[in-house]
Amino acid sequence: MENENPFTAPVSTPDNGKTVGIISYLTIIGWLIAYFAYHKDNKTELGSYQLRQTLLLYIAAAIIAIILRIISGLLLFSGGFELVIILNYGVQIAMFIFWIIGFIGALNGTKKPIPLIGDRAQTMFISI
């Protein structure tokens, strides 16, 4: 008789990585859950593709947010602050559009790259 752990369930992948892709777009916590709970022990080509896309999207969004906060802090009293606010909104809208494009690709189970960063993500995070 095999000693089975009642707290672990076998992972099945009838969706070939589609679930991993969808979960990875649901915040950075979703990315961590998708990677460690679903993908790490049962890698699929589609799951890897979507994880790479979302990881670079989250990293790019964080770096851009930090840069814009530094610039807005420097321009707080010089009169260019309004320009930074407009730029910030534009970047946030662009990132949201990129997120929607990637999320739709994950929902459809396709490998459609996110504009500007999608192809780079596939070469930067090849080990995922």
- pLDDT digit of tens for each residue in the chain (128 aa)? 455 655 554 555 466 788 999 999 999 999 999 999 888 888 899 999 999 999 999 999 999 999 988 888 887 777 777 787 888 899 999 999 999 999 999 999 899 999 999 899 999 999 88
- Non-local (6+) Cβ contacts of 55 within 8 A are 31, 121, 125, 128
Question: What is the C-alpha separation between 56 and 115, in angstroms, rounded?
Answer: 12
Report residue 30 as tokens: 């979703």
pTM: 0.79
